[in-house]
Amino acid sequence: METRPLGASGIQASLVGLGCNNFGMKIDLEASRAVIDTALEVGITCFDTADMYGKGQSEEFLGQVLGRRRKDIVLATKFGGVAKIAESGERWGSREYILRCVEDSLRRLQTDWIDLYQMHYPDPNTPIEETLDTLDTLVQQGKVRAIGHSNFSAEQMHEAVKQSTARACAHFVTAQNDWSLLNRAVEADAIPACERHGLGQLPYFPLASGMLTGKYRRGEDFAPGTRLAVLPFTQRMASDENFAKVEVLQDFAEQRGHSLLELAMSWLAAQPCVSSVIAGATTPAQVRANAAAAHWKLSAEEVTQVDALASGVPA
């Protein structure tokens, strides 16, 4: 498995990362154990979770399963999602909130340190200076090795860089955004900011809720248990426009002896700012497929052709 640096942190992570959002939500402890064991077996070292996944169970499962192997991975988690999604009114970027959350995460993960601690959503009610100062404290204490953010816009990234530079405190080194061949909005905003500031991008939903695996067909019902069947908010991905793109992208991949899944993962891997592609899994088979999918090294010409196809323009 290829490894890449997480921005300027000096931390090396596997090109394909394991998204742990299914733990405690779609699969139980033993099924999660099988996924984790397989990920380690195939060389995945980047494990991405959050305190909100499975209401804390994702972190708990990782803590229980990893044991001594914890030192062999890059363990990333996030704070702030619980308050944001619950609309609790809490300021999730505040010093008090972060200090409480990091201790809870460390306890659930059964570890003394977090390799990458990420702000899950920007907090409109807390100055970014307070958030950065607090995260800097955690870095100085050794509880956190590096910090990142998720779902930030380019403007929010610029402000964070400006404030961390002015305050000579810890800088965000990574960004997480929803990015795939079917969702490219970030290319006009967040991605140029990542490149400008040297942030390692950790794209999530790289398979567009399963649309880029090829398992969904136009006009057919979603199979029971699949993401599109279970989560209504993801069904917007199953538009006629997206099915048309999927069909031409699948044809492009198959003409070259590859699968649509391989194309989706390898296209992201070909982007200069990408450090690790975060892909979730519920079975060992999915882990193996995801891990192998980024091995296709697309040429510059192929990237240009795929860009055109994904934009609805004939290559």
Q: What is the value of pTM for the model shown? A: 0.93
Q: Is residue 61 part of a domain?
A: yes
Q: What is the CATH number of the domain that holds 113?
A: 3.20.20.100
Q: Is residue 149 part of a domain?
A: yes
Query: Which range of residues forms the domain containing residue 279?
Result: 3-210+262-298
**Residue positions annotated with a catalytic role:** 53
Domain total in the chain: 1
Q: Is residue 37 part of a domain?
A: yes
Instruction: Give the pLDDT confidence of 190-222 residue by residue, as tens digits.
Output: 999 999 999 999 999 999 988 899 876 766 665
Q: Is residue 231 part of a domain?
A: no
Q: Is residue 16 part of a domain?
A: yes
Walk along the chain (315 residues) and give the pLDDT tens digit of each residue: 999 999 999 999 999 999 999 999 999 999 999 999 999 999 999 999 999 999 999 999 999 999 999 999 999 999 999 999 988 889 999 999 999 999 999 999 999 999 999 999 999 999 999 999 999 999 999 999 999 999 999 999 999 999 999 999 999 999 999 999 999 999 999 999 999 999 999 999 999 988 899 876 766 665 666 665 555 555 667 678 888 999 999 999 999 999 999 999 999 999 999 999 999 999 999 999 999 999 999 999 999 999 999 987 665
What is the per-residue pLDDT for 88?
A: 81
Q: Is residue 88 part of a domain?
A: yes
Q: Is residue 247 part of a domain?
A: no
Tokens 């305190």 sit on residue: 51
Q: Is residue 35 part of a domain?
A: yes
Instruction: Give the pLDDT confidence of 214-265 residue by residue, as tens digits.
Output: 876 766 665 666 665 555 555 667 678 888 999 999 999 999 999 999 999 9
